[in-house]
């Protein structure tokens, strides 16, 4: 079971699991984008009730789910390899463009030294790879006290905040 | 130059602390080798053939003397007493100890220097014209825009894990390409439109490496305040759609070619339209804040060509020669722009000792308001020298071996560190450069040949920009042996943008010891065939590739 940090706290939570497209989507299921696209009408009530979430692969861009994102209580974005940076754009666009307010979880090859960037791009929960040290991970969120760019956490770039 | 405020300094200090922690975890075995890789790369550390290499950023080539002395101290305290200026205006230390790098970076942070994003698959150091701010031809000083790009790109949350490295260069001289912007992932040309407003012509998809391509225009005029949001849009498209399955096809040039420039423009414009008026949009207040750091120094009111200068020229032909070659006109009367060449015979191009660095710092303090610039041709520039002081400066620079009067000539070569240092290289490049320098050491002959760019890369990665040398040399590996392939006709644009071109391979490669002879054959052919006043490149273009090929290899059967 992956170690989970959510909103800056360690959480014991294995509720959300990716299910095969052929398996029944029950409470706590994360479903693929393909399944959502083909079974949208049938799955919409469960999503809106907070029972099923969405699982995006790293090659699936945010616009493929678009404003439907807000139907879900949780969206997980997979990082198949930590060096695959597509998930940062997906997260940011879900938050900034598609108005997604629910839980945004980084899953897969999630390492300590990515957390600060992930948080800035709008993630609020992180299923860390099993070997990562949680105490070090928690400290990583306060690596920097200021940032040059606008991001999800603060829409003002530093040049709009400088006195 | 730009001086950090409390935010900039705090961010850098936090970066130093972050990397110190990462290094400790790595040395404790808590971060795997392949996972430490991007962390050390984004802090400038490569692991090279014999030792780690630390690449320190010199943002857009700007240095002050406190910084240069700090670099000299690092060379002395942590390395073997020398360093190497790279073709992207940065400085490389070739022999630091891996575990000492965090302390080196802490030392450098005290003088507002760092190695942030000098390597890795992220937005790299932005480069520009080494004569920025001191030549009359420029539309405006490009350095404030470079600093704004530097801040925007530093620890960008969305773009730390791009498909591949991403390089931006800025030019501000109309009709010229003084920063090789056509060879960059994004080229920013600062222009003024018919209404007199400052803006940018943006190129995308240029690059050297194993697939050399000149950048194409994606935007003909971008308003001044849209710079950062437009860059965000380009890189967001690249981050999402650039190839990640093959590192040799991962640069934005490959994406641009695959999509076509029209489709690329559509995607970027669609993205840009949705963010251009957002909070990321640059403000006039910020432009003015940064521009205040790049005001003119306290120039004196002087005349051009003072009597002392004329007298010295008449007295010393050697000084006159240096003046004609290595000194350039300044926008302010009575001042001059001086290039100190790091191309001494017997020394690898771009190499400089700690003693030379300290001495150059003294020269900059004495003659040029305590600042200097590094150039992509691997030289140093003192940008604000009084003309009446040029003779005194020349004498001191000469004593230091920094006044070789060959700027722009054959032996002012661009050369990567090559197989002597670099783990990627297929072949050594420095010994080739040295053999050519030694063979062609006659100044009269070099002057007679005129301007020739000879660029040497030790491998396909093209750090020595061989594709855009009038004469390009590429090291290749053939069954474990080092050979050298020659191309002719490349041009980085320089003073005439429209003339930029990529070199064409001449024929089969040569052994290292053949290289001076082969270069001699090419030069002899040029000298024999040129018309009055015709440059090497002009003659090549007129006479044609086939004739040069025959001159080198003999008639085809």
Q: Which of B151, B161, B282, B284 to mutate to test the interface with A (most CBs of A within 10 A)?
A: B161
Q: Do A158 and B7 touch (CB under 8 A)?
A: yes
Rounded to the nearest angstrom, the minimum Cα separation between A11 and chain B is 23
Q: Is B457 helix (H, G, I), strand (E, B) or coil?
A: strand
Of B7, B239, B279, the CB nearest to A150: B279
Residue A33 and residue A57 in contact, taking contact as beta carbons nearer than 8 Å: yes
Q: Which residues from B are below 8 Å from A162, CB to CB?
A: 5, 7, 286, 289
Q: Which residues from B are below 8 Å from A160, CB to CB?
A: 279, 283, 286
The residue ranges of DSSP E strands in A33-138, in sequence order, are 52-56, 74-79, 103-108, 125-128
Q: Does A153 touch chain B (CB under 8 A)?
A: no
What is the bridge-based pairing of β-strands B198-204 and B186-192?
A: antiparallel
Nearest Cα neighbor of A54 from A87, A34, A32, A37 is: A32
DSSP B222-235: EEGGGHHHHHHHHH
- Residue B209's pLDDT is what? 84
What is the bridge-based pairing of β-strands B414-415 and B454-457?
A: parallel
Average pLDDT along chain A:
95
A&B contacts, CB < 8 Å: 104
Give the CA distances from residue B447 to residues B212, B407, B412, B441, B494, in Å, rounded to whole numbers and listed in that order: 31, 10, 12, 11, 19
- Residue B498's pLDDT is what? 66
Q: Do A160 and B274 touch (CB under 8 A)?
A: no
Reading the block at residue A35, the tokens are: 């399944």
> What's the fold here for domain A3-161?
Rossmann fold (3.40.50)
- Residue B206's pLDDT is what? 95
Q: Which residues from A are below 8 Å from B161, CB to CB?
A: 82-85, 88, 114
Q: Does the reported pTM lie above 0.90?
A: yes
Nearest Cα neighbor of B380 from B130, B74, B127, B66 is: B130
Would you place residue A1 in the very low, low, confident or very high pLDDT band (cuts 50, 70, 90)?
Answer: low
Reading the block at residue A156, the tokens are: 């003002």
- Residue B214's pLDDT is what? 93
What is the spatial distance between Cα A75 and Cα A65, in angstroms, rounded to a whole number?
10
Q: Which residue of B has its CA nearest to A157?
A: B280
What is B414-553's CATH number?
A: 3.30.413.10
What is the spatial distance between Cα B19 and Cα B101, in angstroms, rounded to a whole number?
9
Q: Do A85 and B11 touch (CB under 8 A)?
A: no
Nearest Cα neighbor of B113 from B75, B66, B149, B146 is: B66
Of B21, B35, B160, the CB nearest to A111: B35
The residue ranges of DSSP E strands in B78-185, in sequence order, are 82-85, 91-93, 127-128, 168-171
Quickly tell me which residue has 């350095």 as its tokens: B143
What CATH superfamily classification does B127-293 receive?
Answer: Sulfite Reductase Hemoprotein, domain 1 (3.30.413.10)
B147 Cβ partners below 8 Å, 6+ apart?
B2, B59, B60, B290, B293, B294
Phi, psi (rounded to 5 degrees) for B109: -60, -25
Nearest Cα neighbor of B404 from B326, B316, B309, B314 is: B326
What is B6-109's CATH number?
A: 3.30.70
What do you get for the CA distance between the two ends of chain B, in Å? 60
Reading the block at residue B74, the tokens are: 């690092």
Would you place residue A42 in the very low, low, confident or very high pLDDT band (cuts 50, 70, 90)?
Answer: very high
Q: Does A39 touch chain B (CB under 8 A)?
A: no
Backbone Cα Rg of chain A: 16
Reading the block at residue A99, the tokens are: 């108005």
Of B35, B285, B289, the CB nearest to A82: B35
Q: Is B73 helix (H, G, I), strand (E, B) or coil?
A: helix
Q: Which residues from B are below 8 Å from A57, CB to CB?
A: none
Region of A150 please: left (phi>0), alpha (psi -120 to 50) or beta. Answer: beta
Interface residue ranges in chain B relative to chain A, Cβ cutoff 8 Å:
5, 7, 10-11, 14-15, 18, 21-22, 25, 30-31, 35, 38-39, 121, 151-152, 154-163, 228, 236, 239-240, 244, 274, 278-280, 282-283, 285-286, 289
What is the bridge-based pairing of β-strands B52-56 and B45-47?
A: antiparallel
Nearest Cα neighbor of B96 from B58, B46, B57 is: B46
- Residue B420's pLDDT is what? 84
Q: What DSSP state is assigned to residue B368?
A: S
What do you get for the CA distance between the two ends of chain A, in Å? 46
Q: Which residues from B are below 8 Å from A82, CB to CB?
A: 35, 38, 161
Q: Do B239 and A85 touch (CB under 8 A)?
A: yes
Phi, psi (rounded to 5 degrees) for B153: -85, -15
Looking at the predicted complex, does its ipTM rise above 0.95?
yes
- Residue B497's pLDDT is what? 64
Counting Cα atoms < 13 Å in the Cβ hemisphere of A54 gives 34
Quickly tell me which residue has 């105490």 as its tokens: A135
Counting Cα atoms < 13 Å in the Cβ hemisphere of A97 gives 19
Counting Cα atoms < 13 Å in the Cβ hemisphere of B396 gives 16
Q: Which of A150, A152, A162 to mutate to test the interface with B (most CBs of B within 10 A)?
A: A150
Reading the block at residue B251, the tokens are: 């640069």
Q: Do B283 and A160 touch (CB under 8 A)?
A: yes
Rounded to the nearest angstrom, the minimum Cα separation between B120 and chain A is 10
Q: Does A61 touch chain B (CB under 8 A)?
A: yes
Rounded to the nearest angstrom, the minimum Cα separation between B285 and chain A is 9
| Chain A residues 72-101 with a CB less than 8 Å from chain B | 82-86, 88-90, 92, 97
Q: Give pLDDT tens digits for A56-111.
A: 999 999 999 999 999 999 999 999 999 999 999 999 999 999 999 999 999 999 99
Give the CA distances from residue B222 to residues B204, B272, B285, B442, in Å, rounded to whole numbers and listed in that order: 13, 11, 19, 48
The β-bridge partners of B471 are B454, B488
Nearest Cα neighbor of B61 from B110, B20, B104, B113 is: B113
Q: Which residues from B are below 8 Å from A85, CB to CB?
A: 121, 158-163, 239
Which H or E element spans position B199?
strand B198-204
Residue B371 and residue B63 in contact, taking contact as beta carbons nearer than 8 Å: yes
Q: Do A83 and B158 touch (CB under 8 A)?
A: no
What is the spatial distance between Cα B74 and Cα B110, in angstroms, rounded to a whole number?
12
Residue B203 and residue B217 in contact, taking contact as beta carbons nearer than 8 Å: yes
What is the spatial distance between Cα B265 and Cα B159, in angstroms, rounded to a whole number?
20
> Alpha-carbon dihedral of residues B16, B21, B24, B26, nearest 10 degrees?
-100
Residue A116 and residue A143 in contact, taking contact as beta carbons nearer than 8 Å: yes
Reading the block at residue B12, the tokens are: 């850098």
Q: One fold for both B6-109 and B127-293?
A: no
| Domain boundaries of chain B, sorted by first residue | 6-109, 127-293, 307-399, 414-553
Architecture per CATH, domain B307-399, reads as: Alpha-Beta Complex (3.90)
What is the spatial distance between Cα A150 and Cα A152, in angstroms, rounded to a whole number?
7
Reading the block at residue B288, the tokens are: 């003015």
Reading the block at residue B363, the tokens are: 């020269």
Whether the pLDDT of residue A125 is over 70: the answer is: yes
Reading the block at residue B175, the tokens are: 């009709």
- Residue B108's pLDDT is what? 98
Q: Which residue of B has its CA nearest to A84?
A: B161
The residue ranges of DSSP E strands in B375-528, in sequence order, are 380-386, 414-415, 454-457, 471-478, 481-488, 504-505, 510-511
DSSP B113-156: -B-TTSSSSSB---EE-TTTTT-TT-SS-SHHHHHHHHHHHTT-
DSSP A129-152: -TTS-HHHHHHHTTS-S--SS--S
Q: What DSSP state is assigned to residue B384?
A: E
Q: Do B15 and A97 touch (CB under 8 A)?
A: no
Phi, psi (rounded to 5 degrees) for A53: -120, 180
What is the spatial distance between Cα B511 and Cα B483, in angstroms, rounded to a whole number?
5
Of B21, B161, B278, the CB nearest to A83: B161
Residue B440 and residue B399 in contact, taking contact as beta carbons nearer than 8 Å: no
- Residue B62's pLDDT is what? 96
| pLDDT tens for the 557 residues of chain B, in order | 999 999 999 999 999 999 999 999 999 999 999 999 999 999 999 987 777 899 999 999 999 999 999 999 999 999 999 999 998 899 999 989 999 999 999 999 999 999 999 999 999 999 999 999 999 999 999 999 999 999 999 999 999 999 999 999 999 999 999 999 999 999 999 999 999 999 999 999 999 888 899 999 999 999 999 999 999 999 999 999 999 999 999 999 999 999 999 999 999 999 999 999 999 999 999 999 999 999 999 999 999 999 999 999 999 999 999 999 999 999 999 999 999 999 887 788 899 999 999 999 999 999 999 999 999 889 999 999 999 999 999 999 999 999 999 999 999 999 988 888 888 888 899 999 999 999 998 999 999 999 999 999 999 888 889 999 999 999 999 888 999 999 999 998 776 666 788 999 999 999 999 999 999 999 999 999 999 999 999 999 999 999 999 999 998 76
């Amino acid at each position: 079971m992956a170690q989970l940090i959510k909103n800056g706290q360690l959480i014991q939570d294995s509720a959300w699991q990716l299910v095969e497209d052929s398996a029944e989507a029950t409470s706590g299921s994360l479903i693929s984008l393909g399944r959502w696209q083909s079974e949208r009408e049938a799955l919409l009530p469960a999503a809106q009730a907070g029972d099923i979430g969405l699982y995006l692969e790293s090659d699936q861009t945010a616009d493929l789910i678009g404003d439907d994102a807000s139907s879900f209580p949780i969206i997980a974005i997979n990082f198949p390899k930590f060096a695959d940076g597509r998930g940062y754009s997906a997260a940011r666009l879900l938050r900034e463009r598609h108005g997604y307010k629910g839980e945004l979880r980084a899953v897969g090859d999630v390492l300590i030294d990515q957390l600060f960037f992930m948080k800035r791009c709008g993630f609020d929960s992180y299923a860390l790879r099993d070997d990562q040290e949680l105490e070090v991970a928690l400290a990583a969120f306060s690596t920097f006290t200021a940032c040059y760019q606008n991001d999800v956490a603060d829409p003002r770039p530093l040049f709009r905040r400088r006195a | 130059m730009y001086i950090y405020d409390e935010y900039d300094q705090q961010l850098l200090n936090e970066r130093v602390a972050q990397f110190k922690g990462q290094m400790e975890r790595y040395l404790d075995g808590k971060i795997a080798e392949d996972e430490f890789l991007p962390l050390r790369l984004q802090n400038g550390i490569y692991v090279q053939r014999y030792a780690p290499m630390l690449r320190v950023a010199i943002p857009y080539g700007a240095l002050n003397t406190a910084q240069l002395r700090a670099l000299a101290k690092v060379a002395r305290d942590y390395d073997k007493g020398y360093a190497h200026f790279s073709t992207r205006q940065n400085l490389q230390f070739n022999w630091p100890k891996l575990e000492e790098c965090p302390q080196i970076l802490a030392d450098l942070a005290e003088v507002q220097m760092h190695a942030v994003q000098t390597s890795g698959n992220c937005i790299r150091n932005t480069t520009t014209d080494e004569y920025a701010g001191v030549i009359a031809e420029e539309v405006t000083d490009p350095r404030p825009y470079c600093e704004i790009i530097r801040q925007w790109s530093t620890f960008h949350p969305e773009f730390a894990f791009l498909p591949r490295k991403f390089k931006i260069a800025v030019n501000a001289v109309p009709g010229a390409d003084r920063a090789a912007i056509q060879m960059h992932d994004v080229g920013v040309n600062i222009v003024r439109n018919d209404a007199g407003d400052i803006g940018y012509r943006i190129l995308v998809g240029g690059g050297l490496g194993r697939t050399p391509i000149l950048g194409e225009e994606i935007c003909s005029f971008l308003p001044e305040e849209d710079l950062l949001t437009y860059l965000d849009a380009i890189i967001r498209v690249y981050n999402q759609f650039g190839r990640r399955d093959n590192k040799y096809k991962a640069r934005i040039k490959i994406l641009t070619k695959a999509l076509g420039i029209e489709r690329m423009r559509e995607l970027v414009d669609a993205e840009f339209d949705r963010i251009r008026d957002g909070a990321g949009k640059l403000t006039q207040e910020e432009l003015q804040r940064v521009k205040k750091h790049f005001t003119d120094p306290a120039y004196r009111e002087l005349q051009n060509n003072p009597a002392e200068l004329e007298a010295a020229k008449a007295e010393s032909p050697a000084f006159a020669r240096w003046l004609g070659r290595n000194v350039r006109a300044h926008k302010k009367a009575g001042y001059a722009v001086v290039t100190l060449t790091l191309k001494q015979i017997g020394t690898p191009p771009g190499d400089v000792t700690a003693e030379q660095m300290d001495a150059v710092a003294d020269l900059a303090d004495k003659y040029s308001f305590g600042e200097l610039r590094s150039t992509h041709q691997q030289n140093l520039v003192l940008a604000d020298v009084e003309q009446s002081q040029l003779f005194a400066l020349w004498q001191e620079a000469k004593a230091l071996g920094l006044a070789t009067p060959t700027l722009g000539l054959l032996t002012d070569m661009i050369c990567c560190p090559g197989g002597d240092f670099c783990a990627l290289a297929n072949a050594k490049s420095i010994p080739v450069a040295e053999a050519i320098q030694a063979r062609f050491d006659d100044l009269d002959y070099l002057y007679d040949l005129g301007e020739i760019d000879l660029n040497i890369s030790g491998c396909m990665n093209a750090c020595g920009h061989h594709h855009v040398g009038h004469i390009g040399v590429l090291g290749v590996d053939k069954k474990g042996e080092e050979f050298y392939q020659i191309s002719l006709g490349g041009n980085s644009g320089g003073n005439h943008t429209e003339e930029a071109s990529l070199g064409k391979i001449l024929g089969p490669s040569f052994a290292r010891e053949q290289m001076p002879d082969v270069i001699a054959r090419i030069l002899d052919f040029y000298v024999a065939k040129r018309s009055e006043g015709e440059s090497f490149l002009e003659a090549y273009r007129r006479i044609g590739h086939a004739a040069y090929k025959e001159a080198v290899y003999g008639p085809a059967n």
